[in-house]
Amino acid sequence: MIKIGLDANGGDFGVNSTVPGAMMAVEKYKDIEIVLYGDEAKIKPLLTNSERITIVDAKDTISMGEEDPFRAVRKGKETSLVKAMTGAKTKEVDAVVTSGPTQAVVMAAHIIVKRLPKIERVALCPLLPNRDGNPRLMLDVGANVELKPEHIGQFAIFATVAAKEILGIDNPKVGYLNIGSEPGKGRLLDKEVYDYLKELNGINFYGNVEGDQLLDCPVDIVVAEGYGGNIALKTAEGTLKAFGGMLKDGIKSSFMAKIGYLFMKKTLKGVIKKVSSSEVGGAMIFGVDSNIVKAHGNSNAYAIMNAIKQARTMVSANIIEKVMEKLPENIEIVEEANKENEA
């Protein structure tokens, strides 16, 4: 039996999407048990099935707009997120699914579940939408700064295993986000990363990829230094939002366009759905001693079910074990820099 913890209070819709999502998942996958961490009084009326379902009462919630996620996690012993992560730490559950606020999730995974041995950095690994309809893996997207080539190598190994097990891609191609496609491009760090990845065993290194290739991507995995990855991901999101806003303004201000919109509505919505990150799957957290899936904040029951499915695959495929086996032994990273980064 695979035990999956669900942060039932989390996300924009709380129990109203998480509990129905859990119901769908236990119905569909007979090899899972779900532990619902959340407000028992609110959960109970929504249960349509109590088979392979346990509730761990947690009255508090870390709000989606939390401005100090570090403090919220530290002080949030009664929150559903902290209780779920504690369940992962004590191995009460094999995985955690949450649609809570990203920064709090990464932080809680980091300080409660804790890092795996040999792993120096925890990173968020979202699935990126792509023009061809096949999602790509990308990490890091901002949890870390001041990364070294060895850290990015670890990300590449994790994503290589995850792309095979989650997306079914054999020998996935790994690209490094840089400011030019040729080997010598970028900062000193970028050149070092390129040389390191080129020689790294266990990955299929393609070379550099640039910002304009992200959504029409020649590789299956994009590894990035957290600063560049964050800028790229946010710029892509912001660009889509701004373009969508301009389109809306344009439609509103023209009668002809309004008519056109009626005919094009389905196609437009389809394209928007295709580029919406909530459609392609949950982000995974690399580097901690459990399988954590961060679903989009606005996940509906269906998206929660998919995130549970993803967590189930991570557990049954033994992703953590496979990654640990592939990590190179000869890691020499200054631990001081590491501690500084975590502080």
Chain residues in the site for a second copy (CB under 8 A): 130-131, 142, 145-146, 177, 179, 186-188, 190, 210-216, 226-228, 230-243, 245-247, 250-251, 253-254, 256-257, 259-268, 270-271, 274-275
Strand order in the sheet with 127-128: 127-128, 136-139, 221-223, 173-177, 204-209
Rounded distance between C-alpha atoms, residue 34 and residue 93, angstroms: 8
- CA angle 107-36-139, nearest 5°? 35
Q: Of 45 and 270, which CB lies nearer to a second copy in the complex structure?
A: 270
Q: Least separation, in Å, of the C-beta of 337 and a second copy?
A: 10
Q: Of 30 and 266, which CB lies nearer to a second copy in the complex structure?
A: 266
Q: Least separation, in Å, of the C-beta of 174 and a second copy?
A: 18
Q: Least separation, in Å, of the C-beta of 126 and a second copy?
A: 14
Q: Least separation, in Å, of the C-beta of 130 and a second copy?
A: 8
CA distances from 100 to 43, 72, 161, 282, 321 (A): 17, 12, 25, 12, 26
Rounded distance between C-alpha atoms, residue 320 and residue 233, angstroms: 25
Q: Least separation, in Å, of the C-beta of 286 and a second copy?
A: 18
Q: Of 77 and 241, which CB lies nearer to a second copy in the complex structure?
A: 241
Q: Of 144 and 313, which CB lies nearer to a second copy in the complex structure?
A: 144
Q: Least separation, in Å, of the C-beta of 147 and a second copy?
A: 10
Count other Cβ atoms within 10 Å, centred on residue 204. 14
Rounded distance between C-alpha atoms, residue 128 and residue 280, angstroms: 7
Give percent helix, percent strand, percent coil of the chain, each to the nearest 5. Answer: 50, 15, 35
Q: Least separation, in Å, of the C-beta of 128 and a second copy?
A: 11
Q: Of 250 and 328, which CB lies nearer to a second copy in the complex structure?
A: 250
Q: Of 33 and 210, which CB lies nearer to a second copy in the complex structure?
A: 210
- For tokens 């993803």, the residue is 310
Q: Of 41 and 337, which CB lies nearer to a second copy in the complex structure?
A: 337
Q: Least separation, in Å, of the C-beta of 262 and a second copy?
A: 7
94 within 8 A of 291, measured Cβ to Cβ: yes
Q: Of 97 and 221, which CB lies nearer to a second copy in the complex structure?
A: 221
Which alpha helices (H) appear in the chain, and where do they start and end?
A: 15-28, 40-43, 69-75, 80-89, 102-108, 149-167, 188-199, 226-252, 255-275, 277-280, 301-316, 319-326, 335-342
312 within 8 A of 2, measured Cβ to Cβ: yes
